Amino acid sequence: MTEDRWKDWPAPAKLNLFLHITGRRADGYHELQTLFQFLDHGDTLDFAPLSDGRVETARALEGVDPGKDLTLRAARRLREVTGHPGGVRIHVHKRLPMGGGVGGGSSDAATTLVALNALWGTGLDTASLARLGLELGADVPVFVHGTAAWAEGVGERITAVAPPEPCYLVIHPGVHISTASVFTDPGLTRDCPPITIADFLAGQAGNVCEAVVRPRYPEVDQAMGWLGKQGVIPRLTGTGACVFGAFDSAPAAREALNRLPGRWQGFVARGRNRSPLLDRLDRG
């Protein structure tokens, strides 16, 4: 076992290319349709084995209660289910904004499950890891499976898909949006008619959260307006706050990034239908 095996595990960002809510269940959860696609940009996790069974973080993330840290919860749950005796120290190199709708925490949790399952030799298959991931969050199984996915239900019914892989400019307007506050807003559309993948590819889809988020968060509204002036259709990912647009080429996306107002942060990334996490897993 070499030390390199424990380092540089990617936790890629994701985009929701659309988001429709088709109903609400008796337990309060929303039924939805969405399409997840990964990006070649994200957090990176390093792991260090501990022989005494402790599971700890190398550096606490600012603003995250250690008791709610999804990487620690994922490692402890994997240890509990498999009976693995060892421990681990987890170092998250954070690049993705928290509360940005790009899946940072869920992706970190999925990478922890996938990486430690390989490093510890615990031998769970992908379906078992995805079930553990669902205990941590609705988006975690998508990151575990590692393929662009059409998701339905509360996000647990997923079908692999292969949409185009353009270059995106992703903008974070500098605000934090509570997913719970959006999903409880009385103005949120909850009766979208179900659509098909063909409908999405024909352009018959959007994000119902935009109508709630844009009036409540002027910075998001302004970022979407600015992005629309760059010749692309602006989209909100998930409940936000990140917005994005698809460009025909990386140079065009970077030119737009160079014009980005200084009050916002942004990055250019290629859409990926196969997660960089799977590539890392294949390398051992």
**Is 14 an active-site residue?**
yes
- SS3 for the chain is CCHHHHCCEEEEEEEEEEEEEEEECCCCCEEEEEEEEEEEEEEEEEEEEECCCCEEECCCCCCCCHHHCHHHHHHHHHHHHHCCCCEEEEEEECCCCCCCCCCHHHHHHHHHHHHHHHHCCCCCCHHHHHHHHHHHCCCHHHHHHCECEEEEECCCEEEECCCCCCEEEEEECCCCCCHHHHHCCCCCCCCCCCCCHHHHHCCCCCECCHHHHHHHCHHHHHHHHHHHCCCCCCEECCCCCCEEEEECCHHHHHHHHHCCCCCCEEEEEEEECECHHHHHHHCC
Active-site hit among 8, 14, 40, 46: 14
Active-site hit among 43, 69, 108, 139: 139
**Is 229 an active-site residue?**
no
Q: Which residues are catalytic, by number? A: 14, 139
